[in-house]
Structure 1
Amino acid sequence: MGKKVTTMTTPRFWRVKNKAGENEPAEMFLYGEITHEKWFDDDVTAKAFAEDLAALNGCDLKLRINSPGGDVFAAQAIYNQLKDYKGRVTAQVDGLAASAATIITCAGDTVIMPENALFMIHNPLTWAVGNADEMRKTADNLDIVRDTIVSVYLSRTKGKVTEDELKDMMDAETWLTADEAVKYGFADSVTDERIENRINGNLLIMNSISCDLSKFRHGEKARAIFESFNKPKKEAKKTMENKETLGLLQKIADKLGIGEKNEPAKDNTAVKNAVKAERERIINLEAMLTGDSVIDAIINAAKEAGQTADDIKAYIDAVNKAKESETVNNAAVEAMSNIIKDNIESGAAKVTATAPTVDEKQAAIDEIVNIANGK
């Protein structure tokens, strides 16, 4: 009997979805880690990928990528196949394009990213065993591989970033948001779509695909960006609350007749303080009433004009002093009092002449108190 041969296949990290309609592009999902495994018949995944790509017969392709990276040689082979493909390729990052997955992403004629997707580039990595000469040779080989990756990136970014800048970014293991990826030319546009993501320990899970951040030198950068994804909503809410507060304070300022004299405050404490200060101003002025027609007239004018007790104290003292003098007749006192009163009412003492009446101001204060209390 002849020897029985068993063929083993390796699960692929991609799958193809035929186009639903005549004018729709085919879809290829490249999810998970990029591998370069062999079958027993010496096939490799890059060859299988080429066969699946050829089966699409050059129709437009939407390549959906969500991968933490993997084998750089497999990624380079797939990149070259996609660049040679006759149909138009749109690459969409469905969550994460990191490491070797960025090479494949760069093959897209157009690259789009949801607003909370991530893009990460770094230097190629490998394991090495051997003596010093062998280790140096491995390092030299890694430099060559890095140069091929840089060449891919330069072709995609089209002058938005220099070769030296790219190498610096790769040295630093750079994690980019969708907006930053567009800025550097790795992507063309950002959609308002938001993909599902979460962090569980060291696992960054984006659109059901997990990425172990502990495998990277600076996984904490990805964590920081991930946490920032939720900040825009909080900032928008805070901005809205500030606008509502400023609108309320402007209404209070209008009611009190102070217009643009006061800068709008930033919280409801200012509302309460404004109400309290206005009540105290009225109370302090009314405490100065004596029953004297002249003095009371000055006080009432001050109440209407927005003056405080301190503002008119000197005037009232002058009236009282004039009345105590035997050399000044009542007509002179009356005339001086009228001048003082006119001075207050006219705005000559830096008071707004169009301030509301006492009754109007009191009604406004009551309304402000109700507003502040949420009534």
Structure 2
Amino acid sequence: MTIGSKMPKNSRKTGKNMPVKAYNMAILDDDSAEINMYGDVLMEAPRDYWTGERINGMYIAADEFLEDLEQIKDKSNITVYINSGGGDLYAGLAIYNRLKELNGHITTVNDGLAASAASLIFQAGDTRKMNKASNIMAHGVAGFLFGYYNLNDLNNMVKQFEAGNEAVVNVYAERMGVTYEEAQDFINGETWKTGQAAVDIGLADEVIETEEEDAEGLLDSLINKVSSVYGRQNSAVPAGVPQVANIKKDGGKKVKTTDELREAYPELVAQIEQEAADKGKMEGRKAERERIKGIEDIAGGVLDKALLNDAKFGEQPMSAAELSLSVMRQQASIGADMLNALEKDAKNSGADNVKSNPKNAEDDDPDKEDEEEKENEIKDLVNIVNGTKKGAF
């Protein structure tokens, strides 16, 4: 059962302003619950100025969070996973105080970042766990000023900042096991700590070790993989696969490697491997059907039936895309052969040895030839006359 879960991707199509929350609460069993907090911390959800509707976004609204918390507050074990850059101081303090007053055991886990107000929420855990690759950041109260202020306004603001810092220091001092003065020095500026460094100064209780897993971690991982084959939740395990809790209850020994797991529980490992192998076969058959169907869809455009048959059932079967590429290459090769044959025929025809005649077409005009002949006769007569005149002198 989940509480405050995120809106499904297609829910926007309904036209309703369904809330998207940056946290998720899940009831695991009768005694346990889990909270995932990923987003900025605000006192209340922001709303559209004109319509008054809630604006969706990645923020943890304290008013909504505390209302949803009522549904799991009686659980004996609550694990809170945090990845947040912080936000509103008093929203963070409200969530911190409410978590701290619950009767069950609270475990807070820093998944990536617990900064500012989120670092306060992290301190609410009876057990506070840091990952080796997670950061915690603490600092004093800060605010944004915009507008005009008189001296009294500024003095009042200073008092508010001092009160806020006092609340923050009280939280850190209590959880770190140090004096108020020591914790006060801690929030001067910003203090960043990673993994073991946060444990060393009392901001966390332990670092999560991931290098080795015990039997529960290994079995959980394997069972989850098999469960995912069937599209089930982690709590639903295929028939015949025993729950981890049952194995441990029956006196199962701890193992730290998959080989030791195989030796300790050979039947379980064999069943899990068989389930995975059967799933692989099913996926393989599905992929093969899809491949053949893709080829059938383009078969009408493939003239070379031998190529088509090889694509389906040959020693190197093809996908529809690979077959299409082969057909294109084949057509390109045929076109190149045709061009080469045409070029060869042209050379063999002797057309290259035919010389062009530079004489102008107008030189063959018979009328022009007659005119030129007449002009030559006139020139001859003129020369005769001129010659006679020259002889008279």
TM-score (norm 1): 0.45
Higher relative contact order (CA 8 A, sep 6+): 1
TM-score by length of 2: 0.43
